[in-house]
Amino acid sequence: MGLKMGMIPVKKALEAILDQVQRMGTEKMDLLHSLGRVLAEPVASVRDHPPWNSSAMDGYAVCHGELSQASEQRSVLLEVIEEIAAGVLPQKAIQPGQASRIMTGAPVPEGADAVIRVEDTRTEGNRVRVIQPVEAGENVRLRGEDIQSGNVVLEQNSVIGPAEVGLLASVGRSHVLVYQRPRVAILATGNELADLGEALGPNKIMNSNGYAVAAQVIEAGGVPVLLGVAKDTREELSDRLAQGLSADLILISGGVSVGEYDFVKDVLDELGATMAFWKVAMKPGEPLAFGMLKTKPAFGLPGNPVSTMVTFEQFVRPALRKMQGHALLFRPVIEAVLMERITKKTGKTHFLRAVVKKTADRYEVWTTGSQSSGVLTSMVKANGLLIFPSESGEIEKGRTVQVQLLGKNLSDKTFTGYLAKRDCRVL
């Protein structure tokens, strides 16, 4: 089945979006606030790490030669000439017949080439009896073993997680250059919408999209700028959108369809936006617009709460990640065994809300049941989106399908409990 007029495939839509969005500028960030950001510079070490040959154990720094045959029967008695705590430099070189007491991390003194563990010795006054053989280099971490001075320890575009923070601290970086977070203007549209804190009249529903999308923006690393709710009039839409122009990206929810009060298209045209497309061959989410408003990427997301969230996942999240310098733009996709038969009309890619369970040797996947695009509770239950390809009309139970994971815990009790109920109904 061919595509309807003006409707473009998911892949083409994604390409058009990623072509247009640009990486953000950079900013200097203090180390802890750089968590979750993407490095905008390569970071090199200015020092070897460890900076000296250091002890990996609490024990005695020794010269291994005279101890290579040591045992209970052939024990060797050494004179202890010094104690080297972590944080002090050794004052004395080791001569044959001598040892220095040494703590983990402390510099190994000259003349020593191994450290023997305390457990392999017996103390006798100011002497130590070695009762185990020692090999050259044993329990010694060589200078520069982890990092050599001048080595790039983190490449540009690395994502900064806790281990990276530790590494940056270890090379003395209190500040790093990272890509800025995009500010994302979010405008909900609809005469029927009330905002949180407003009285909910009999003709109103809550603006849930504004908040769901703001949460998705935060999760994707952006900074939401809530523009509230615009009534379905050209004037109000136009005024509110003008306020959004100082942001880096603009999201509009609702009003992009072909209803009598869907003015988003008109207003974007009036404001001189150049739109790449208005419809994508997908479900949920067919009415989905993308283009440039002045210099800012702008999305018209469908109003149905599930469609809004699913289209955000597919298109806005990768765009926001590209803007922040991420190399990995997409959620992980896994292969899972389909636990029920599914059918649809061909011609559109469907993203089915799904529950994935990990068993001993495979992933298993169920749909959450109703796929109506208004059922937000099914988004809460889902931990994945099952990709039902455009050209496919049915997939039998037992076949392997692709599932996009939504970053939730697969072994969460909620899902297990939910699955128990689903098992009764479906299997």
Binding site for Mg ion (CB under 5 A): 190, 254-255, 303
When asked if residue 311 is in the footprint of ligand AMP (CB under 6 A), the reply is: no
Instruction: Using the structure block, give the residue that is written with the tokens 């900064």.
Output: 160
The three-point CA angle 145-146-149 to 5° equals 85
Q: How many residues bind ligand AMP (CB under 6 A)?
A: 18
When asked if residue 192 is in the footprint of ligand AMP (CB under 6 A), the reply is: yes
Nearest to 66, CA basis, from 107, 101, 114? 114
| Pairing status of strand 26-30 against strand 175-179 | antiparallel
Q: Find the shortest distance in angstroms from Cβ 374 to ligand AMP.
A: 6
Q: Please, are residues 289 and 257 in contact by the beta-carbon 8 Å criterion?
A: no
Residue nearest to ligand AMP (CB): 303
Q: Which is nearer to ligand AMP, 207 or 314 (CB)?
A: 207
Q: Find the shortest distance in angstroms from Cβ 256 to Mg ion.
A: 9
When asked if residue 236 is in the footprint of ligand AMP (CB under 6 A), the reply is: no
The rounded radius of gyration (Å) of the Cα atoms in the chain is 31
One residue of 7, 188, 282, 382 binding ligand AMP per CB under 6 A: 188
Q: Find the shortest distance in angstroms from Cβ 35 to Mg ion.
A: 38
One residue of 121, 158, 216, 304 binding ligand AMP per CB under 6 A: 304
DSSP per-residue letters across 260-296: TT--HHHHHHHTT-EEEEEEESEES--EEEEEEETTE
Q: Please, are residues 121 and 114 in contact by the beta-carbon 8 Å criterion?
A: no
Counted residue by residue, the chain has a size of 427
One residue of 107, 221, 244, 254 binding ligand AMP per CB under 6 A: 254
Q: Find the shortest distance in angstroms from Cβ 193 to ligand AMP.
A: 5
One residue of 209, 216, 311, 324 binding ligand AMP per CB under 6 A: 209
Residues in 363-402 at the binding interface with ligand AMP, rule: CB under 6 A: none
Q: Which is nearer to ligand AMP, 87 or 201 (CB)?
A: 201
Q: Give the distance from CA 275 to its chain's centroid.
A: 30
When asked if residue 310 is in the footprint of ligand AMP (CB under 6 A), the reply is: no
Q: Find the shortest distance in angstroms from Cβ 173 to ligand AMP.
A: 42
**Residue 50 binding target from Mg ion, ligand AMP, none, CB below 5 to 8 Å by type:** none
When asked if residue 259 is in the footprint of ligand AMP (CB under 6 A), the reply is: yes
Nearest to 134, CA basis, from 119, 118, 121, 115? 115
Bridge partners, residue 212, by sequence: none
Bridge partners, residue 357, by sequence: 364
When asked if residue 228 is in the footprint of ligand AMP (CB under 6 A), the reply is: no
Q: Please, are residues 389 and 365 in contact by the beta-carbon 8 Å criterion?
A: no
**Residue 208 binding target from ligand AMP, Mg ion, none, CB below 5 to 8 Å by type:** ligand AMP
When asked if residue 297 is in the footprint of ligand AMP (CB under 6 A), the reply is: no
Tell me the helix, strand and coil percentages in the chain, rounded to 5: 25, 35, 45
Binding-site ranges for ligand AMP (CB under 6 A): 188, 190, 192-193, 205, 207-210, 253-255, 257, 259, 302-305
